[in-house]
Structure 1
Amino acid sequence: MDSHQPDTWQLRGGPAGLHIFNRNTGLNVLVDEIPVPSSLHSRAPRQVSIALTNRCDLACVHCYAPKSRDELRFDAITRWLAELDANGCLGIGFGGGEPTLYPEFARLCQHAARETRLSVSFTTHGHHIDRELAERLRGTVNFIRVSMDGVGATYESIRRKSFPELIANLDNVRDISRFGVNVVINKRTLPDLDEVVRIAADAGACELLLLPQMPVRNVQAIPEDALQDLCRWVNAYKGPLTLCINEASADGFPICDPLAGERGLRAYAHIDAMGVLKPSSYSKTGVQLGEGSVLQVLDQLADELVENDR
């Protein structure tokens, strides 16, 4: 990082207390002895994911992203990042589609690192991270999530890409930043979890994010029996990777939640590749951002969600 990088420490006030975060080390400190007045609670979500583009050169059946060529304008994204940074957001996660297909992806990560205090992460299938891109991203990204749905033949039947090539590319990923792997959990991928852990740990990963399959178009949600098998696997797990699970599937799993008062839009929001602000990437409810303020649209979305619940 260069001398123009802003302060990497963030302070976020909320119902749980004062949250102190350092994007370079990943250190999180919650000072819950200090009550924070509601007037000083951070207005932005703690984490925001941004689908830069719907373009992807894979066609995984479980993918939630629309099959279109929509993508966001660079100037709109940087305007949103500045507003989120100024209002207590701690991190942004770029996705898609496949974010490395976004024409100005490296430039965008460089901008976020130099002009904001936001932690920068992205989720990728990993097949476009060559030495050249790794060099451009080094020092600008704090964490990478690589999608690895099973291993070997299981992975290749879903992704239609070479599994050995993915593993080889993890050397480039590791040169950029710390990284973890994501697995969409269904009956095909569940039996591969032990091997996923072994291979990912050997490649230098530090985290395994479990994503029980959600209903998308013609794909059904993970069956209840497979979800119970996953729960048993988690309870018996003693592997080297830190386990995480998406919030929508967390019920019934052993989790640690020190920020229980920050749920919903306080915790997370998603901006899709058409510029619609949503509660999550799977949500059908959203509000177009347009040229307006992210915080104003966030308030509008919160009001709509309350109205829909009545």
Structure 2
Amino acid sequence: MAGNSQRKGAIKKSGKGNPTAGSGGRVRRGLEGRGPTPKAKDRPYHQAHKAAKRAERSAETRPKRRVTKSTEAEWVAGRNSVVEALRAGIPITGVYVAEGAERDGRLREAFKLAAEQGHSLLEVTRNELDRMTGGAVHQGLAARLPSFDYAHPDDLLDRAAELGEPALIVALDSVTDPRNLGAVIRSASGFGAHGVLIPERRAAGMTAAAWKTSAGAAARIPIAQAVNLTRQLKAYQEAGCMVVGLAADGEVSLPDLDLADGPLVVVVGSEGKGLGRLVSETCDQLVSIPMGNQLESLNAGVAASVALYAIAQARA
């Protein structure tokens, strides 16, 4: 009778003594295929799979280029400063105006420029604006700049290689005036340098003042940061660059520099002390700029401009 499990032969006992239903299901599963053959790289014992794993481990252990950001957003406070920042095309994430601020010509111009450039315009309380700008004299108007993305020092060499040109990099040794930094960036962009290198510590960074002085050049040329400037200069030397430092007592006069047509790093010292001892010892040559007796030295921005012009003329 159908469904009668007591009839003879309805239950089969396996060799191990475990009763099982008929074998039809097991036979059917055994006849089924195992699906498509996995790709070679997905088979654990295939050479392609082992090679892919080795490549992954190599990528994990390879040093990665570190792209740093400035620690905080920069604030431009005051009506004149905000208007000048907007005129210069400095990147801005928002313009903030205090509630009840008196509408004068500067404020209206700031509103107009912000609207034309697509910047958000936000109204906040005066106390909130005080807090955001750190108590600066903002006159009811402030603008916020985004944190700056610094390039990796190796990116400057890569940029020269992509253009098929001998590298030309400007390195600054403890230049603390952001206006000098902006001036160097502007000259570097104008005379064909492939980037500017600055130390992470005890040096000017990309603040609003540097952006303004660069006249927008900071958006056209990479600026990189080095944890240790001396170590990075040695890395550039190992990559085939000659490193020259500008110094008042340099043994070579700038017009006599015969390294201008090859891969070159020009190091500019700080406003007061010039090149540091370790940086000076690392340079392949120290180069002086000929001047009259009435003037001892040039500031960092002017010195970099003169040197870059002379190098550009030599390369031309």
Q: TM-score under structure 2 normalisation?
A: 0.29
Higher percent of residues as helix:
2
Q: TM-score under structure 1 normalisation?
A: 0.30
Higher percent of residues as strand:
1
- Larger RCO, structure (CA 8 Å, separation 6 or more): 1
